[in-house]
Amino acid sequence: MTLADAAIYSLAALGLLAFLSVTVLLLTWLERKALARIQMRMGPMRVGFHGALQPLADAMKLIAKEDILPSWADRRIYWLAPLAVFVPAFLLWVTIPVAQDVVIRNLDLGLFYIAAVSVLSVLGLVMAGWGSANKYAIIGGLRAAGQMLSYEIPFIMAILAVAMLAQSLNLRDIVDGQSGAAYALVQPLGLFLFLTAGLAELGRTPFDIHHAESEVVGGPFVEYSGAHWAIFFLAEYVNTFTIAVLTALLFLGGWRWPTMPFDGAAHAALSVLWLLAKAYAVILVIFWIRGTYPRLRIDQLMAFGWKFLVPLSFLNIVITGVVTFYGWPLWTLTLLSAAILAASYALIRYHAGAGRKRTSVTVRQASDLRASGGARR
């Protein structure tokens, strides 16, 4: 690597840091506003136009706050943990393209790299849990480890099915492979698997059990404050954005537009905007889920992962393999995939609902009860 190369990469890394930080600021604002809309509130309104500067105010507050080190904490692990979460979150972006030629380093093993690096952040959460020497934190850290490692399997399997369709692990090739039809149309099941497992990887509602406020009071983050807490927060939102962009790239056709009017730089800029629009649509869905769903219990989460998502993801691989091997038209895969998705929804509905719904509460009239002498049974 020459000096010039090193300079370019350093600049790119700085640019990436700036881009992602601004994105995180935007996302926190967007999340608060979106949740507020769902909950009939206004959200932040005071700082700037409709609270537009609220994220900046929050960031300043967090940096200015005292960094607390609990006296029992395992000092080195405690201070390293935020970095162990933060670094993998940023490393992922080395190979994520935001347009045909806008990427730091386009790896041929891009998807493999992403699957490998994304799991690293679990380590940071476990470290935070252990280092805090707090019972809630350690329960939260272990929950995070169990949850993320389990959901890694359906996550990777969903990615794999996409790679099988595109015949490549290169993200650019995968986007090119969707010139005919976005993979969301070809593999609706794959999209469902990817998003569900992705939510679990992120630890977002309904899979936010590792930092469940009402149970473990913030889990691994319970002792952190100030800038170190902010770093966890930053990493969490970067990861959310990553999952959304990956969904857009792998399933929603990435930056591909049927006919792009310009070429050159204008084309690239428009492509980036188009990709971001798709990513933000996915993010709004994630926020919507957060505003609507309660969270699962740890055993239910595990059961859902191992007994439901894992078999489903293998099934997804099998049908994709059969269709590509025999060279059937892609719409057969769409049909198969959609049918399995519908069947699995019915299964969930049956499992959660089966004859256990409102029938268990009956209303008896007071007049009847009085007539039977205020009977106790």
Partner 1 sequence: MITTTQTPTQQADAIDLMVNMGPQHPSTHGVFRLVIWVDGERIVKAEPHVGYLHRGSEKLCEGENYGQVITLFDRLDYVANLNGELGFCLAVEKLMGLEIPERAERIRVILCELNRIASHMLFYGVYGLDIGAMTPVLYGFRERERVQALFEAVTGARMMHNYIRVGGVKEDLPDDFGKRMTTLTDQLGRGIEECDALLSDNEMFLERTKGVGVIGPADAIDYGVSGPSLRASGVAEDVRVSEPYGIYDMFDFGVPIGANGDCWDRYYVRVEEMRQSLKIIDQAMRQLEPGPIMAKVRRLLRPPKGEVYARTESPRGDLGVFIVSDGTDKPYRVKVRAPSFANLQALQHMLRDAYIADAVIILGSIDIVLGEVDR
- Residues contributing to the site for partner 1 (CB under 8 A): 35, 38-41, 72, 133, 135-136, 138-139, 143, 205-206, 208-209, 212-217, 290-300, 348-349, 351-353, 356-367, 369-370, 374-377
Min CB(200)–partner 1 separation in Å: 13
Min CB(360)–partner 1 separation in Å: 4
List all residues 6 or more positions away from 139 whose beta carbon is below 8 Å from its beta carbon.
129, 216, 219
Q: 338: which 2 tokens?
A: 């959609």
Pick the closer one to partner 1 by CB: 46 or 376: 376
Pick the closer one to partner 1 by CB: 73 or 193: 73
Q: Count other Cβ atoms within 10 Å, centred on residue 324.
A: 15
Min CB(152)–partner 1 separation in Å: 20
Q: Using only the alpha carbons of the chain, give its radius of gyration.
A: 23
List all residues 6 or more positions away from 214 whose beta carbon is below 8 Å from its beta carbon.
none
How far CA 338 is from CA of 190, 289, 333, 362, in Å, comes to 10, 21, 8, 38
φ, ψ at 354 (rounded to 5°)? -25, 95
Min CB(49)–partner 1 separation in Å: 24
Of 235, 250, 152, 234, the closest CA to residue 201 belongs to 152
Min CB(341)–partner 1 separation in Å: 16
φ, ψ at 269 (rounded to 5°)? -60, -45
Min CB(198)–partner 1 separation in Å: 18
Pick the closer one to partner 1 by CB: 60 or 375: 375
Min CB(41)–partner 1 separation in Å: 7
How many Å apart are CA 211 and CA 139, to the nearest integer? 9
Pick the closer one to partner 1 by CB: 64 or 352: 352
Min CB(23)–partner 1 separation in Å: 23
How many Å apart are CA 192 and CA 255, to the nearest integer? 21
Q: 113: which 2 tokens?
A: 């790299």
Pick the closer one to partner 1 by CB: 66 or 299: 299
How many Å apart are CA 164 and CA 162, to the nearest integer? 5
- In sequence order, which ranges of 255-309 are alpha helices (DSSP H)? 265-292, 298-303
How many Å apart are CA 37 and CA 31, to the nearest integer? 10
User: CA 53, 55, 59: angle at the middle one, nearest 5?
Assistant: 120
Burial class (CB in 10 A: 0-12, 13-18, 19+), 350: exposed
Instruction: Report the Cα–Cα distance between both ends of the chain, in Å, rounded.
Output: 84
Pick the closer one to partner 1 by CB: 37 or 50: 37
Min CB(203)–partner 1 separation in Å: 12
Pick the closer one to partner 1 by CB: 161 or 301: 301
User: CA 93, 97, 98: angle at the middle one, nearest 5?
Assistant: 105
Min CB(104)–partner 1 separation in Å: 37
